[in-house]
Structure 1
Amino acid sequence: MLAQIVLFDGFDPLDVIAPYEVLHAGGLASDGALTVELVSAEGPREVPSGIAPLSLRAAARLDPARAGLVVVPGAAGRMPDGAGPAADDSIPAVLARALETALTPLLAEAVGRPRVCVATVCGGSLLLASAGLIRGRAAVTHHEGMEALGDAGALPVPARVVDDGDLVTAAGVTSGLDLGLYLLEREVGPQTALLVERLFAHERRGVVWRAPA
């Protein structure tokens, strides 16, 4: 399986690096059952994060026809104070700018493909919800964004990880570790997930909520 982790201008670095390292380690531990790459909507480029001057390089273009798993991070920036329009460096503003790029139709393609699992960390679910892509779907985001998630048409579930079939979402930024380990367990197997969990000296936290069969 190919996992593509999406980069966009202003992404949160931890949302990317945590699942990337977990999934990469899982691929090594499973003799290549899973490979992972960083991608952008525009193709190979240096992508600035929301924590200057840190950037990461996308190695390829987001391609839902190739990927079996697409992971969407949230943004780094200031939390809105609720008074007046969002500042240019606020998380809602960063996500709004990302939606104005070629990323939106590619995410729509990924969500629409039955053999692709789309996963998110933190504000990544808000990105999908704001694009109208997960209306009526169970999801979670950072606790300060749960109301906005519901306002955008998703069904907020207060769990660490929410598994709604081909949509798997995780809560605040550190939940990217738990998301990666859960995806390993689900897609590769519990033995691989346990091995990587021990390697990273990380015990998974919280609840995984699964949609009724």
Structure 2
Amino acid sequence: MELSLWLSLLGACVVISFTPGAGAINTMSNSMRQGWRTSIWGVIGQQIALLIHVIIVAAGVGILVASSPLLFAIIRYAGAAYLVYLGIRMILSKPNVASDGKSTGKIMTPWAMMRQGILVNLLNPKAIVFFLAFTPQFIRTDQPLLLQYLIYIGTVVVVDVLVMFFFFAGTARSFQRFTATTRGAKILNIVFGVLFILVAGMLLLIH
């Protein structure tokens, strides 16, 4: 991959990663409720989903999803339903009050956070369609494909990890003072629960 093309890819990845979405909300929520360092597991899960999306597109399955209204709708509604489920569960959950840096609420295991991260990003058919349109811009069919895809995937994942962990999760740390009280923790649960539900609504309404 030429340097100029890679720099274009890098710039596009930065802009896309900084665009707020379900992944950013999930990362910030994990950071405040489970801790900044622990939130990396959710970020890793989201990257696994991105890898799956790229593999789907590379394998040509993305074309099937994009061209099949029924399949697209099934995935779209499943994704929206999962985000609504996360939102309602967060709103109704017990406030996760921090004391001396330790949480007294429900602690998610690394695997649970990773699984949630995978589902948040994976159950988004628009991501598949996006990568279907985005990937070909940076892949040259007249050059070795494996190395190009490795560079492409590596750039997408590294940029997203840095933005999610150091920006979104890091920014969320400044709000952790709210988790020191039951009232503050409950408000945060409601705020992020509503945000998940709003993203679900956007997923259904924006075509």
More strand by share: 1
The structure with the larger Rg is: 2
More helix by share: 2
Instruction: Verify same fold: TM over 0.5.
Output: no
TM-score normalized by the length of structure 2: 0.22
